Structure 1
């Protein structure tokens, strides 16, 4: 990257952006030793103060971790999903060049009882249908990112359970094997904190920040999946593109 000292952006900010993009693009893996301040000074032709400010910003954002006496290390991968695309975790990660996997935690029929509705109110849209639960811990490079509970009408879910759900995407199976064409989805995203089970699965402490995404997917006018996705907030974020004439996204003020 060529730096322009006449640009309004400070040099340390330009360096921060360049290094952040390099981490996102896989220049270093998690746990790799990051270049020293001296190496970065030589690379960019700037002072030690400028380099330290750039690296300090990446440490603050959680990309890097300084270990006294050992050096600076890459701390996390970047996972970003663009809203507006009806895809699942596996499809999104492959689109970004990552290799996703999953631990299958549970596969079982679910009756929509009052107790089940109290726990998962979104199931009410399916009436009295018998459902099938696919419960997975979804990973990126072997590290947990998303705890997923995906509910399908029983016949669909039962057939899905016949496939290798540790490696295959649910939406790909739905399209390829079940003949379902997913046409739209309603989705909400909210901030929350990890409870005991979620914390254990996602390898975080109880009370750690998480993002909860609930999605109701349709095939035509028929709901075919309710999914509750719980993401580690330090490893996942959503990006939304907004345009003056685009009314596809709606903000909701909750009491």
Structure 2
């Protein structure tokens, strides 16, 4: 610890500074397990109470995340998404000043019966990818593109396919091919990660994951893309602004004039 900048500071604040500096310098990277409280006590020559207070400071700052029964990990800064804005993964990441990439882990054609298992009622190209942010695993994306589209877009299928390129973007590819996505239906859920998912995302079990299921369509309602995405829970934040005076609301209070059961 550096005495010249720590004069008058409580020991826990000094330790918090040291740990914070280590994280920012890359000594511990997002997803890393922090040394145990006992190890930190020995390394820095402080009491357990000091270590606990220092960790609490970094937990409050969002730099660390505690997982019950596993330990304390360096947090991965979450991607923020807002309803009403239809953006692809790469677009979302770049807008937040970070670098998106991916690792292709599977690619194959599905017949209609196989595609139906994902909710697509026509033959499709399946792409399985690990999505990365600043080089770190963030999500597992399974995308289905109808073969009527994939077969007509050289970047998706055939000898000129670019899907294995680390900077490949489906939405950019659609734009370049003149395919305009107009709207999408999206469902978000939460569950525990499977052992395979934890391995691909570089996390320990048990870990919570966010499930995002999205179908994107053109103006005529034709399916352009279907995606099933598994995000580490601490990597995904969904921001929403809710308006109480929503004119489309069907909510009412029991017995009030707006109760449809009271109207005739």
TM-score between the two structures when normalised by the length of structure 1: 0.66
Q: Deviations for 1:7-58, whole angstroms, at most 9, x for unmatched residues?
A: xxxxxxxxxxxxxxxx9xxx9465479xxxxxxxxxxxxxxxxxx9797253
Would the alpha carbon gap of residues 62 and 248 (structure 1) be closer, same or farther in structure 2, given more than 3 Å must change? farther
Instruction: For residue 232 of structure 1, report the CA deviation from its aligned partner.
Output: 0.3
1: CA distance between counterparts of 2:89 and 2:180? 17
* Residue 225 (structure 2) pairs with residue 232 (structure 1): no
Q: Unpaired segments of 5 or more residues in structure 2? A: 1-19, 30-51, 67-72, 251-264
Which residue of structure 1 lines up, in the alignment, with residue 201 of structure 2? 202
2: CA distance between counterparts of 1:192 and 1:248? 31
Which residue of structure 1 lines up, in the alignment, with residue 189 of structure 2? 190
Q: Unpaired segments of 5 or more residues in structure 1? A: 1-22, 34-51, 67-72, 251-255
Count of matched residue pairs: 196
Instruction: For residue 80 of structure 1, report the CA deviation from its aligned partner.
Output: 1.6
Q: Which moved more, 1:183-192 or 1:232-241?
A: 232-241
Which residue of structure 1 lines up, in the alignment, with residue 133 of structure 2? 140
Would the alpha carbon gap of residues 84 and 107 (structure 1) be closer, same or farther in structure 2, given more than 3 Å must change? same
Task: Describe the SS at the equivalent of 1:234.
Answer: helix
Instruction: For residue 166 of structure 1, report the CA deviation from its aligned partner.
Output: 2.1
Structure possessing the higher radius of gyration over alpha carbons: 2
Q: Deviations for 1:169-195, whole angstroms, at most 9, x for unmatched residues?
A: 11111111x211100000000001111
Q: How does 1:142-221 map to 2 (within 5 A)?
A: 142-158=135-151, 159=153, 160-161=156-157, 162-164=161-163, 165-176=165-176, 178-220=177-219, 221=221
1: CA distance between counterparts of 2:55 and 2:184? 40
What RMSD over aligned residues (CA atoms) do the two structures have, in Å? 3.4
TM-score between the two structures when normalised by the length of structure 2: 0.63
Instruction: For residue 76 of structure 1, report the CA deviation from its aligned partner.
Output: 3.0
Would the alpha carbon gap of residues 29 and 168 (structure 1) be closer, same or farther in structure 2, given more than 3 Å must change? farther
2: CA distance between counterparts of 1:143 and 1:133? 23
